[in-house]
Amino acid sequence: MNSRTQLMTWGFLALFLSMNSTIYGDDANTASTKTKPSSFRLVWEKNFLTISGDSIPGGEITVMYLEAYCRPGSTDRDWRETTIGHMTELVDASEDGKTIRLKCTLNDGVIVTHKITAVTDGVQFDLKATNPTKTASLADWAQPCVRVDRFTGRDQKTYLEKLFVFLDDELTRMPTPNWATKARYTPGQVWCPQGVNRNDVNPRPLSDDIPSNGLIGCFSSDESMILASAWHPYQELFQGVANCVHADFRIGGLKPGESKTIRGKLYIVPADVEALVKLYEQEFPEHRAEN
């Protein structure tokens, strides 16, 4: 091999290695980021999901999971007539505390399976609702109740100003403008998205404002972290009375033999609102069209 040919060969080899180092190096870094172990641990017991981790303000977050499954026509009706009784059982829990599987059996025969997974930026929920009966189910929506007292460092009288929803595409602290005060049950506040019947939400004061997206959440005591919830599809956003926030998911009823999938995310992230919204829009692109 003459010197000119040798130089060309080495040149092509160097170019090849450089290109592949860039390609595979970026892919490797991306894969490493995506597969980075979660620092959160999950425990479910007696209808409460507990999320713990050193980075969580207050040490842990509790979620009443699930509080209730609900029938339509709920906005102005006695709550006892709205709820459908259910029983939740633990199917499996991984030894490392990263994955939990639950099964809800509703009194009308509907089965809802839940896979709950600790991820790097929070907790992911993957559900499947199935009606194995020969009768249509009125299971319209359901309530995961996220308790935020530890995270905000506030009590029931002082935590409201730590909470937020998005109105007119802006993060808006509570109490929001046009704060409603009249309903069958008070206090509290409900935001109903477009496409959902306003007769089918929580019987607490219903805001005239339409949320810009499906996020509802709060800031930590020192404002360094955000805890936020989102589901698809979702029925409502709700500020409750148990130091809680809700992004309540929609089932929309089930025909005999019908199944539907539902997914949710509980974000536990640094208080970078722009980054949170970008992540949310990537994970819930359907909400952009709905809102």
Q: Give ∠ CA 223-224-225 in degrees, rounded to 5.
A: 95
pLDDT digits (tens, 9 = 90+) for 87-126: 999 999 999 999 999 999 999 999 999 999 999 999 999 9
Q: Are 192 and 75 in contact (CB under 8 A)?
A: no
In this prediction, residue 291 carries a pLDDT of 54
DSSP string, 141-176: EEEEEEE-HHHHT--TTT-GGGEEEEETTEEEESSP
In this prediction, residue 290 carries a pLDDT of 61
Count of domains forming the chain: 1
Q: How far apart are CA 48 and CA 113, in angstroms?
A: 16
DSSP-derived secondary structure letter, 102? E
Does some domain include residue 11?
Answer: no
* DSSP E strands, the chain: 41-45, 48-52, 60-70, 83-84, 86-93, 99-106, 111-119, 122-130, 141-147, 163-167, 170-173, 189-191, 216-219, 225-232, 234-239, 244-250, 259-270
Q: Confidence class of residue 2 from pLDDT cuts 50, 70 and 90? A: very low
Does some domain include residue 1?
Answer: no
In this prediction, residue 286 carries a pLDDT of 87
- Supply 289's token pair: 């069209």
Does some domain include residue 14?
Answer: no
Q: Confidence class of residue 37 from pLDDT cuts 50, 70 and 90? A: confident
Q: How far apart are CA 99 and CA 150, in angstroms?
A: 23
Does some domain include residue 50?
Answer: yes
CATH number assigned to the domain comprising residue 43: 2.70.98
Does some domain include residue 127?
Answer: yes
Q: What are phi and psi of 60, to 5 degrees?
A: -160, 160
Chain centre to alpha carbon of residue 122: 9
Span 206-211, average pLDDT: 98
Does some domain include residue 65?
Answer: yes
In this prediction, residue 191 carries a pLDDT of 98
Asked whether residue 31 carries a pLDDT value surpassing 70, the answer given is no
Does some domain include residue 278?
Answer: yes
pLDDT digits (tens, 9 = 90+) for 117-152: 999 999 999 999 999 999 999 999 999 999 999 999
Asked whether residue 6 carries a pLDDT value surpassing 60, the answer given is no
pLDDT digits (tens, 9 = 90+) for 256-275: 999 999 999 999 999 999 99
Number of other CB atoms surrounding residue 151 within 10 Å: 27
283 vs 38 pLDDT, higher one: 283
Q: The domain containing residue 158 runs over which residues? A: 36-290
Does some domain include residue 21?
Answer: no
